[in-house]
Chain A
């Protein structure tokens, strides 16, 4: 029974350790030592005998996912990494959007110039022909 209990605890701690990858080694070791001490004092102070009781202790501690997530939140540059990634994703998108905007504006200006210059020249063009002869006539 004792070996069985140790197996459950060892497996539980291993599952947490696996999920602490990327955290500084001392924080990892400290957390595992704290959890080990916690389980040991629960066993001693609550006089835990069966594996079922031991599993209850582990359930109160929380699933390996939950405990590891808390560790990442407290210690992790890993927790900050996704934020940086999203920021890094925004920059190229913003740059592309900016380039596209500039291109659209340039196209818009050239088109509006050619389209407004075209008729303007055509409209103006007859005017000088009328205006130029008129001073000649006068």
Chain B
């Protein structure tokens, strides 16, 4: 069962990350905590950082360090225009993908 969750997470989690910074920049700990609250996505928090790093390297996220009002400096993540179009592309792919799976597996509303 854990393996199924891992397979489902692979390939979708990164778009959840992109969506999280779609409207406002967020710092690492904030993003990671938010995922920690989702039982279905519950990966160990530390595994999100390598993912963030890859998304930055592939040009979908931009980062900058900023002072925090209270505490240590924070690393903020922002969606780039490439990241935005990747997210849009995922959205349309995901909808048709989900509909197909629902139809075949019998999990759709009509089923």
Q: Which of A10-31 contact B (CB under 8 A)?
A: 16, 27, 30-31
Q: Is the CB of A74 within 8 A of B51?
A: yes
Q: Is the CB of B50 within 8 A of A70?
A: yes
In the assembled complex, which residues on chain A have CB atoms less than 8 Å from the CB atom of B46? 16, 35, 38, 61-62, 66-67, 70
Q: Does A34 contact B (CB under 8 A)?
A: yes
Q: Is the CB of B44 within 8 A of A67?
A: yes
**SS of B interface (majority):** helix
Q: Does A71 contact B (CB under 8 A)?
A: yes
**How many A-B pairs fall under 8 Å by CB?**
79
User: Chain A 88-121, CB within 8 Å of chain B: the 1/0 string?
Assistant: 0000000000000000000000000000000000
Residue count of chain B within 8 Å CB distance of chain A: 23
Q: Does A130 contact B (CB under 8 A)?
A: no
Once A62-B46, A63-B44, A70-B46 are accepted as A-B contacts, the answer to whether A41 and B71 lie under 8 Å apart by CB is yes
Q: Is the CB of B47 within 8 A of A70?
A: yes
In the assembled complex, which residues on chain B have CB atoms less than 8 Å from the CB atom of A38? 28-29, 32, 45-46, 49
Beyond A37-B28, A75-B54, list 4 extra A-B contacts (CB 8 Å): A38-B49, A62-B43, A62-B47, A75-B50
